[in-house]
Amino acid sequence: MSKNQSAGHARLKYFILVTVVVLVLAGGAGAGYFVHSLLLQSIGEDAAATPLQPETKTPDAGAEGLADDETPSPDSADDDGGREDGTGSGPPEDAEGAQEAELAPDVRDAMAAESHRVVVLRGRSVRGVLADLETAEIIPSADALLVYARIFHRDASVVAGIYDFTPDHTPLQVFADLVAGRTVDPIRVTIPEGWRQERIAERLEAREIVSKDAFLDAAVMSEAYQDIDVVAHLADGAELEGYLFPESYTFEPGTDPEQVVRTMLGTLQNRLVSAGLNELITDGEALHETLTLASIVELEAPVEDMPEIAGVFQNRLDAGIRLESDATVNYVLGTSKLQPTFADTRVEDPYNTYRNFGLPPGPIGNPGMAAIEAAANPAEHDYYFFLHRPDRVTVFSYDFAEHLRNKARYLD
């Protein structure tokens, strides 16, 4: 827009406002009708339209109404069941997939291309919201629409939330949606137990909650999470793998990625408290080791056998025997084999528990509460080996010789 056009636009706004003031002071039904028609034309509406009667919704805390000091000045511009090897018993993916299939991808893309998504934050003034809409070219004049609302809907307030406005929305319809709080529906997303943060990020992106890259960028320790006790011990830049609690969440489309991460971290902390594991929250090293063991148990054990399998791993740790967990090999190779090959187990990597003693450096996924409780309180027994029969029944062994016999009986 040229300087002359900008000046002309400002003069037009000023003329409208002066005319409104004079006519309102003069009073009378004819003046009211003329004001109404003039404002409708100035905001891009049909002059024959009837005055807007928006349905009102109780505004969110912090939503701003049309305060007396908001009359604009002429130049104002103020979202496999959880285990990587497919053996878990977590929530099935089909339910999520069914939700995502409600609209074909090409239909969703076409709708998104034709609409403007607008986030109205709590505490924003009406003036500020309308100015943003004018900048985004969703309405032609923030000042004119504000004056219209100020005269005809003095007590109306905008409702915080996320809105989708299509090119078919007229300025008055935009204002009506803001007042009625016709926000985009929140999205429910299920994160299965045991998933790595990359898979979590992919699901959140598929559900249009946050982009994959933005989530992964946010899923590292930073000052933004220092107030959350379960991660306060982590160094800046440390990955939050293992701390992103798997659960069913509800998010608004386009939620800030740090808020998504904070929600998952906070859920982990709350669940630890509910399970009576408060001591882990204040002992960062113990918590990290528990989550690391839990992430292995999550991928190795049916839920009903988690305490016993955690006991096997704890016995091996105490005896100085390598854990030799297939799940850690799959983590290193990015595979989901039920039985990694001998060559697979020889790969040099700090997370390969066939090559290294003790726990890996950190969690290999994000465990659920059953696995965390099993790792925190493993069953006490004398087993050092286990395997899963083809029907997924767990068979435990006291020593390697017995383990080989069971392997020949059930797997070979």
- Same domain, yes or no, for 170 and 204? no
Residues 320-354 as b or e (16 or more Cβ within 10 Å = b): eeebebbbbbbbbeeebeeebeeebbeeeeebbbb
User: What pLDDT was estimated at residue 12?
Assistant: 56
pTM check: above 0.75: no
405 in any annotated domain: no
Range name among 50-64, 151-165, 243-257, 387-401 with the lowest pLDDT average? 50-64
234 in any annotated domain: yes
354 in any annotated domain: yes
Residue 10: band (very low, low, confident or very high) from pLDDT cuts 50, 70, 90 = low
Q: Domain count for the chain, please give it.
A: 3
- Same domain, yes or no, for 139 and 122? yes
Instruction: Report helix, strand and coil shares of the chain as percent, to nearest 5.
Output: 50, 5, 45
Residue 159, pLDDT > 80, answer: yes
- Same domain, yes or no, for 169 and 201? no
95 in any annotated domain: no
- Same domain, yes or no, for 210 and 309? no
User: What pLDDT was estimated at residue 191?
Assistant: 97
Considering only CA atoms, which of 86, 2, 81, 74 is closest in space to residue 42? 74
Ranges of H-type helices in 119-250: 126-135, 142-152, 171-180, 197-206, 212-218
CA 131 – CA 50 distance, rounded (Å): 24
- Same domain, yes or no, for 193 and 172? no
- Same domain, yes or no, for 269 and 192? yes
CA 148 – CA 130 distance, rounded (Å): 12
- Which residue(s) pair with 189 in the sheet? 249
Local structure of 80: helix, strand or coil: coil
36 in any annotated domain: yes
- Same domain, yes or no, for 218 and 253? yes
Of 139, 164, 180, the last residue of a domain is 180
What average pLDDT does the segment 59-63 reach?
Answer: 41
CB 309 within 8 A of CB 399: no
- Same domain, yes or no, for 29 and 67? yes
- Same domain, yes or no, for 18 and 157? yes
49 in any annotated domain: yes
CA 126 – CA 390 distance, rounded (Å): 63
Residue 93, pLDDT > 90, answer: no
Residue 85: band (very low, low, confident or very high) from pLDDT cuts 50, 70, 90 = very low
390 in any annotated domain: no
CA 406 – CA 395 distance, rounded (Å): 8
- Same domain, yes or no, for 32 and 67? yes
290 in any annotated domain: no
User: What pLDDT was estimated at residue 2?
Assistant: 53
- Same domain, yes or no, for 131 and 50? yes
Range name among 62-76, 167-181, 326-340 with the lowest pLDDT average? 62-76
- Residue 304, token pair as written in the block: 């009903």
Give pLDDT tens digits for 30-55: 444 445 555 555 555 554 454 454 45
Between 397 and 128, the more confident residue is: 397
Residue 337, pLDDT > 70, answer: yes
Residue range of the domain that includes 153:
3-79+109-180
- Same domain, yes or no, for 307 and 239? no
